[in-house]
Structure 1
Amino acid sequence: MGKKHLHVIGFLLAALFLSMPTKAQTLENTYKRLRLNQQKAPAGNLPPELKGLEFDDFYGANYFPQKVEEPYAPIFYVFYMDNQSNTTINTVEFEYWFDNDRTNVKYKTRNDIQLAPGQSMEDGVGFISFEAPNDTRPHIITIKPYKVNGMEVDMGVRVKPFRQYFVEGTYRMPTHYVEVFADPTDKKAYDLYRGLATSIVTLQHKTKKKNCYELVTFVSQAGEATFKASQQENKLAKMYKIGEMPRMMVNRNLMTPYGTLNNHTQLEDLSTYSPAMKISSKVTDVYEYLLQRGFYGPAFAQMTPSVTKNSDGKFVCSITGQVSEQQETKGLRMNVYLVENNFIPETDEDGYVEIPDGTVYNKFVKMISPVEGYELKVNNDRTYTFATEPFAIEDFEADKYRLVASIIDPCTEQPYLASVLQSCGINVTNEQPAEVTMTTAQASGEISFTLAAKEANTPITIDWGDGIEVNYTLGTDFSEIKSDVKGTNLKIKGNITKLNCMANKLKVLDVSNCPKLEVLQAAYNYLSELDLTHSTELQNLEIFGSNSISELDLSHCKNLIRLVASQNFLSDLDVSKCPNLTYVDCSRMKRITELDLSSCHKIKHIIANECAIDKLTIPQDAPLEELSCTNNKLTSLDLTAFTQLKDVNCSGNPITSLKVSSPELLSLYSMETKLTSIDLSKLAKLKFLMLKGNTGITSLNLENNKELEELGFSSCKVNQIDLKPLKGLKKLWCSKNLFTTLDLSQNKEIALLDATECKLTTIAFPENNSTLEKALLSKNAFEAIAFENLSALKVINLRTNKLTKVELKGLSSLEELELSYNQLHSVNLKECPSLKQLGVTANGMSACELNTLYNQLPTLPTMPKKYNLYNGTKKDEAALTSKTSIATEKNWKVYVEGDGSGCADGIDNANADNTLSIVASEGLLRIHSPFAQSTIRVYTLDGKLLVQQHLNHQDTTISVPFDGACIVRCTDDISQNITTTKVVL
């Protein structure tokens, strides 16, 4: 599996049970049927800003739920993303429904993703849960990524079965796993392993649930960074065969990295049983892996440790928790021991770690509890509260030591055969818990926070406004906590490092007593001030939206990496003390006239739109990749120093000089500026170029920009353009320029053309093109034009030209055709079978000519609600007397309804090959000659010749500048036979 796809693994845990059991075989068959319905749609279409975003998930086949009492236990789901787009992903919204019932769609959003461009999502970040139906039937859940950053996306749907019932014991998969990591060459470790295997057998016998407990062994040689599963010669447990990465058993609550932990004679050096391994791109050891592993399912035992220091300098370790439904609660004991808080170093590029001789990691210091452990008293609701006796730690230093607590189930009277049900750990420190206070304007309803901590199992409390502190436990990944608001004054206590309090109508936010805060997302509140003088660890600050902060002191935020402060009332943004800043967004603050980033030598992304900036300072050694400074007051921009630059948007500035030469540049937007010329010669990778509204630009040299896909230079004064080098051009906007010819013959991927209001008289399309969908060519000077074999073309707009002839051949997809305000008297629509909208207003067509046009229209399946046939103005006599019923019978909604009176004779004679037929209308004569070649002469009644025209065919339309009766004479060129008739103009 490639590196990219390592991040597209997810899982679903559906763990819901009701009281009535279902027959095992029936359940198994039901599950098999559901599995056949699993679908996985490929990645779909994405907005341009999100191109490169990859999304996936993974469902294992072992959805074996545990019995729980909650009627609406959630469905747990993990998604993964690779963000190769050019924008940071902050929010992901899902829509989901059950059993293909699309009418009952529900939505769930994660608004704290923070996935930067080029970043891959780490394990566990994309965790989200969905509500499940409250019944015992099998279901299918359909999950669809719906919006990213508020923009609708199409990344397919995931249809997965899950089961919601009680599984009988004989069919239940193992719910308790013991994982042992050991070096078999170490006799002490291997003896311990054998004892642990014996305890599993005892536990199986004791509980009479042989299939609920399983032993998984991972074997490592000394110094290796990974484990491999190994077949051991014992018949006590089933072995898993896996790859080099240990399997993460998410539904386990019986586990240990080194067997029993309560025999001090075998705990002289825990590192003996803790070789290194690599998990989630982070190097750690088995001990640390055990303590930091996140537990998602309701079947787990829960443990929340805390440490307090007495006035006499002694410590007390307290633990609150809950034992899982599957575990016998009698006879449980609690062990607590002290280890040094140091970890195995990172591996090298080959995956190995070098451990110096004599080095001991996570060294065991002493047992805090007796060897046999403290008795653990569990309440009827399966909760417990535990505390040690006060104990001293010699040579105490903050964060030097860690306390580890383990719940022990002694399967026999011999302590060394005990099994660890659950472990947790906490650093020993003398720091006081952090505190965040807030005042909200929200009087009722739900309020929520998304929080994370530096360490797993970090205890916190939240006062929701009524003075009552409610306990919660945080992990290292963001977790959403919500409640009904119970007062205006809110408080969070605990060592949090990440806080998302967006859209909570906060008027006051005090984080001065939370110095370890690394992420603060407080957008869309009512804040007018924010004190960050104690936020020395802050890395990400987001205060955009409806806040009204006028001053922001960042002088103490030396670790700040990302700053989004747009839509506030700042008149100055001082980031001189933020040397690590890589991303800044200060848009929509009209008081800012200068942006000085001279101290930010790591800056990559600058977003400063809609300010009043007339001076922008960027250090020339910055690895700048993105600059967006639209609608400011900049008059010049020299970006030649930034060779990693990929995206520039300086539109809406009075810029007269723009210099950019980055070989990596992909997009350049400089619309509505004052440029008269621009050098694009060094931008070989440029894909998007927009120069609309630069009225001083008269020419463009695109010879070296062969990768261009989208080009816009409307409202310039370009008089000629060579597009031949742009083989991959897909979209072209070039309206309101001065060129008379446009050659697209080499642009075989062109999909959109807008050349409105130029001076065009000729145009060349690529032959047999299957990509062009729109051709917007109104307000030009075309007299004739041909569209041939453009199979994808859907829209043609030729309004207001000088057309007397238009050819439409092989246009199988054409839906909209606008030909109004030309000089056309006939249009052949026979090769436009998909036509749905037509405009021919003000062409001078007679009623008979309109009738001929109506006869060619394709029949539509239904009549549209809006007009789709514009046949003239409301005062157009020809339209009013045309026979529009021909069109309405084909389900065309006609703008001007006609009564059919204007072409009664003409229609009857129009196709008579042996008869001279003439229809007169508004100074025009529509003539059908009975001869193959003839000469038409029109005389006044007194013999004055008005018009003479030679015909090589039988039909023509002649304009006669005369009112009144006249004589029309048709002479056969071969036989000289003459046919004469009288008409009235």
Structure 2
Amino acid sequence: MRDFLEQWDGRRKNGEKISPKYDPDDPASWEGVIWIDAGEKRLFKIDLDNKYLTGTLDLSGCSFLETVNLYHNRIEKLILEDCTGLIYCNCMSNMIHMLDVSGCLKLEQLYCLDNQLRELALVKLPELKIVCAGNNNLIYLDISGCENLETLVCTSNQLKNLVFKGNRELREVFCANNLLKELDLSSLKKLEVLDCSSNLLESLDVGNNFELVKLICNNNNIKEIKGMKYHPRLEEVFCKSNSLVELNFEKCTAIKKIDCQDNELEDLIVTDCDELDELYCSSNFLSKLDLSTNTNLRILHCDMNQLSDLDLGFAGNLTHLNCSKNNLSELVINSTELQEVDCSYNQLQRLEIADPAKLFSLDCSYNRLTFATLPILETYTIYNYLYQDIIIIGNDGKLYVHEEVDFSAEAVIDGVRTEFRWYGVGGPVSPTTENNGNFTFGYNFIGELIYCEFTNNKFPGLVLDTTEVRVLPPAPGQKSR
């Protein structure tokens, strides 16, 4: 220990950094270094966080040492070989490129995050329960024989292989942001949480992990998650940004949250998932989505799919819905808890919201809705209804003399009268007859192209347009007036 305290960085010795009263010959002046009397003074605890200590610390053979706290220093090497009494080590946020804990048979917790480690051997450490070794440069990690290991964190390294051998107590594995191409989980019968996001995985098998509660495998190239069925404890799955074609959660009766956005899903089965609370399946190729058994569903994001039908009749607790950019022609929402809806960029001609009392925002822009089919909401609701599709009138661009154009449903909206304006090639025109939203055009319009624009102050800023039609003589058999 004295040698370490005598090391200097060109300006000060390590000992001078821990105490202004530092005396290399007086261990009592070594603040943060705690001794016990076992016939002679023995090193028991090191507590030297945030001291800007540098160099190599060799504590090998300190058999009475139980605790090492060296968080946030600049140490480059830490040697704890055969510290047989060591229980706890925190050397996070240093510059360590060599760490030796071999022979630390009582070590239970090791925190070595945020260093420069390339290799870490933790072989046959029988009491080790927690390892946090993220944010290093690891290309090699050996945890074989750590039979009581429960939590492993090795995120943000350069690991190409991660082997589980004799780690039957592992419950949490966090190995995101590595270079893993495969991951064998078959021996981890007690696994509860897995985060293997941002690797190079093409498949994942969780068929033996029946205790799994949370699975995170985002940002890989996974084409199939095997063994997903029959996980009675599974509550959360995050598998977005992969290449998945199918997902089946049919027997995952405890599942509460699924995020499978940005895949290639053609089939998503969530039947009998009675506890499902949040479902995010945006940016896939889904043409159908059966939610008939998901009566507790609260949040649904299914935008950017190919849905032509969406039955929400059973979703009485729905608060947030995004079903934009699909092919929906109608949408009926019966929830009394609804707060936010985005159903823009569809083909909606019918939109019904049973109870808009709690609605905070609604975006139904870029659909085929009219004044008569747009919901009437309170003024304090954020409401985007602009840009509805053009309304088709006539038949194949033709309108016969005295053929009725029926806009009677649009004439008066919630007590506010609609203003209709008809135009021909030369400007505004007046229909031959007008009766409460019903219009006809007489013989003097034959050959003319006409269309209509209409507005209603109930929906400020929205202008509805019709297609252009050419007025033609009466069709054969049509009664003249």
Q: Does the alignment reach a TM-score above 0.5?
A: yes
Instruction: After TM superposition, list the pairs within 5 Å mapping 1:958-977 onto structure 2.
Output: 959-961=466-468
Counterpart in 2 of 1:918? 420
Structure 1 residue 838 displacement after superposition: 2.1
Output one character per residue of 1:217-239: Cα deviation in whole Å (capped at 9) or x when no partner.
xxxxxxxxxxxxxxxxxxxxxxx
Counterpart in 1 of 2:211? 664
Specify the SS of the correspondent of 2:131: strand
Instruction: After TM superposition, list the pairs within 5 Å mapping 1:602-641 onto structure 2.
Output: 602-620=148-166, 622-641=168-187
Structure 1 residue 687 displacement after superposition: 0.9
Q: Is the 8 A contact 2:338 2:355 kept in 1?
A: no
Specify the SS of the correspondent of 2:358: coil
Output one character per residue of 1:149-172: Cα deviation in whole Å (capped at 9) or x when no partner.
xxxxxxxxxxxxxxxxxxxxxxxx
Structure 2 Cα separation of the partners of residues 643 and 960 of structure 1: 65
Counterpart in 2 of 1:541? 89
Residues 753 and 658 of structure 1: CA distance in aligned 2, closer, same or farther (over 3 Å): same
Counterpart in 2 of 1:494? 35
Output one character per residue of 1:267-313: Cα deviation in whole Å (capped at 9) or x when no partner.
xxxxxxxxxxxxxxxxxxxxxxxxxxxxxxxxxxxxxxxxxxxxxxx
Output one character per residue of 1:132-184: Cα deviation in whole Å (capped at 9) or x when no partner.
xxxxxxxxxxxxxxxxxxxxxxxxxxxxxxxxxxxxxxxxxxxxxxxxxxxxx
- Unmatched 5+ residue regions in structure 2? 12-16, 37-42, 392-410, 453-462
Among 21, 30, 40, the residue aligned to 1:466:
21
Structure 2 Cα separation of the partners of residues 837 and 440 of structure 1: 64
Specify the SS of the correspondent of 2:383: strand
Structure 1 Cα separation of the partners of residues 285 and 223 of structure 2: 15
Structure 1 Cα separation of the partners of residues 382 and 6 of structure 2: 59
Q: Is the 8 A contact 1:537 1:557 kept in 2?
A: yes
- Structure 1 residue 807 corresponds to structure 2 residue 328: no
Output one character per residue of 1:911-939: Cα deviation in whole Å (capped at 9) or x when no partner.
899x996324899999996359x6x4446
**Residue type of the alignment partner of 2:117:** L
Specify the SS of the correspondent of 1:636: coil
Structure 1 Cα separation of the partners of residues 264 and 142 of structure 2: 36
Output one character per residue of 1:514-550: Cα deviation in whole Å (capped at 9) or x when no partner.
64221222222222222323633111112122x1111
- Structure 1 residue 655 corresponds to structure 2 residue 177: no
Residues 565 and 468 of structure 1: CA distance in aligned 2, closer, same or farther (over 3 Å): closer
Quick check: 667-676 or 701-710, which moved more? 667-676
Q: Is the 8 A contact 2:123 2:145 kept in 1?
A: yes
Output one character per residue of 1:804-825: Cα deviation in whole Å (capped at 9) or x when no partner.
3322230221111122333333
Instruction: After TM superposition, list the pairs within 5 Å mapping 1:211-250 onto structure 2.
Output: none
Structure 2 Cα separation of the partners of residues 912 and 652 of structure 1: 53
- Structure 1 residue 525 corresponds to structure 2 residue 73: yes
Structure 1 residue 672 displacement after superposition: 2.1
Residues 566 and 947 of structure 1: CA distance in aligned 2, closer, same or farther (over 3 Å): same
User: Cα RMSD (Å) of the superposition?
Assistant: 4.2
Instruction: After TM superposition, list the pairs within 5 Å mapping 1:688-707 onto structure 2.
Output: 688-695=236-243, 697-707=244-254
Residues 438 and 768 of structure 1: CA distance in aligned 2, closer, same or farther (over 3 Å): farther
Structure 1 residue 690 displacement after superposition: 1.8
- Unmatched 5+ residue regions in structure 1? 1-432, 444-461, 474-486, 847-908, 950-955, 970-975, 979-985
Structure 1 Cα separation of the partners of residues 429 and 132 of structure 2: 68
Residues 465 and 512 of structure 1: CA distance in aligned 2, closer, same or farther (over 3 Å): farther
Counterpart in 2 of 1:597? 143
Among 677, 684, 696, the residue aligned to 2:232:
684
Specify the SS of the correspondent of 2:307: coil
**Residue type of the alignment partner of 1:773:** T
Structure 1 Cα separation of the partners of residues 235 and 429 of structure 2: 54
Counterpart in 2 of 1:943? 446
Q: Is the 8 A contact 2:57 2:75 kept in 1?
A: no
- Structure 1 residue 779 corresponds to structure 2 residue 325: yes
Structure 2 Cα separation of the partners of residues 820 and 649 of structure 1: 38
Counterpart in 2 of 1:552? 99
Residues 835 and 764 of structure 1: CA distance in aligned 2, closer, same or farther (over 3 Å): farther
- Structure 1 residue 713 corresponds to structure 2 residue 215: no
Instruction: After TM superposition, list the pairs within 5 Å mapping 1:237-386 onto structure 2.
Output: none
**Residue type of the alignment partner of 2:35:** G
Q: Is the 8 A contact 2:67 2:89 kept in 1?
A: yes
Structure 1 Cα separation of the partners of residues 63 and 3 of structure 2: 9
Residues 926 and 494 of structure 1: CA distance in aligned 2, closer, same or farther (over 3 Å): farther
Counterpart in 1 of 2:283? 736
Structure 2 Cα separation of the partners of residues 725 and 809 of structure 1: 25
Residues 925 and 595 of structure 1: CA distance in aligned 2, closer, same or farther (over 3 Å): farther
Q: Is the 8 A contact 2:248 2:270 kept in 1?
A: no
Output one character per residue of 1:683-734: Cα deviation in whole Å (capped at 9) or x when no partner.
2211111221221x22222222111111121122222323221110011110
Q: Is the 8 A contact 2:35 2:45 kept in 1?
A: no
Residues 922 and 587 of structure 1: CA distance in aligned 2, closer, same or farther (over 3 Å): farther
Q: Is the 8 A contact 2:240 2:262 kept in 1?
A: yes
Structure 2 Cα separation of the partners of residues 822 and 612 of structure 1: 48
Output one character per residue of 1:757-796: Cα deviation in whole Å (capped at 9) or x when no partner.
10112111144713x22111121112222223x2222111
Specify the SS of the correspondent of 1:615: coil
- Structure 1 residue 792 corresponds to structure 2 residue 297: no
Instruction: After TM superposition, list the pairs within 5 Å mapping 1:32-111 onto structure 2.
Output: none
Residues 755 and 961 of structure 1: CA distance in aligned 2, closer, same or farther (over 3 Å): same
**Residue type of the alignment partner of 1:840:** Y
The total of aligned residue pairs comes to 426
Output one character per residue of 1:344-378: Cα deviation in whole Å (capped at 9) or x when no partner.
xxxxxxxxxxxxxxxxxxxxxxxxxxxxxxxxxxx
Structure 2 Cα separation of the partners of residues 925 and 528 of structure 1: 86
Structure 1 residue 676 displacement after superposition: 2.1
- Structure 1 residue 745 corresponds to structure 2 residue 292: yes
Structure 2 Cα separation of the partners of residues 926 and 646 of structure 1: 73
**Residue type of the alignment partner of 1:805:** R
Structure 2 Cα separation of the partners of residues 599 and 565 of structure 1: 20
Q: Is the 8 A contact 1:640 1:662 kept in 2?
A: yes
Residues 572 and 685 of structure 1: CA distance in aligned 2, closer, same or farther (over 3 Å): same
Counterpart in 2 of 1:340? none
Q: Is the 8 A contact 1:680 1:701 kept in 2?
A: yes
Output one character per residue of 1:540-588: Cα deviation in whole Å (capped at 9) or x when no partner.
112122x111111222422222112122111110112533222212212
Counterpart in 2 of 1:141? none
Structure 1 Cα separation of the partners of residues 414 and 198 of structure 2: 64
**Residue type of the alignment partner of 2:64:** K
Structure 2 Cα separation of the partners of residues 747 and 808 of structure 1: 19
Among 757, 763, 768, the residue aligned to 2:310:
763
- Structure 1 residue 583 corresponds to structure 2 residue 130: yes
Residues 821 and 922 of structure 1: CA distance in aligned 2, closer, same or farther (over 3 Å): farther
Residues 666 and 434 of structure 1: CA distance in aligned 2, closer, same or farther (over 3 Å): farther
Q: Is the 8 A contact 2:390 2:467 kept in 1?
A: no
Structure 2 Cα separation of the partners of residues 621 and 667 of structure 1: 19
Structure 1 residue 625 displacement after superposition: 0.9
Structure 1 Cα separation of the partners of residues 236 and 264 of structure 2: 20
Q: Is the 8 A contact 1:511 1:535 kept in 2?
A: no
- Whose helix proportion is higher, 1 or 2? 1
Instruction: State TM-score, norm by structure 2.
Output: 0.76
Structure 1 Cα separation of the partners of residues 96 and 239 of structure 2: 35
Structure 2 Cα separation of the partners of residues 800 and 505 of structure 1: 57
Output one character per residue of 1:487-519: Cα deviation in whole Å (capped at 9) or x when no partner.
9x8563533744443333333584739642212
Instruction: After TM superposition, list the pairs within 5 Å mapping 1:83-232 onto structure 2.
Output: none
Structure 1 residue 638 displacement after superposition: 2.0
Residues 834 and 623 of structure 1: CA distance in aligned 2, closer, same or farther (over 3 Å): farther
Q: Is the 8 A contact 1:440 1:504 kept in 2?
A: no
Q: Is the 8 A contact 2:296 2:315 kept in 1?
A: no
- Structure 1 residue 573 corresponds to structure 2 residue 80: no
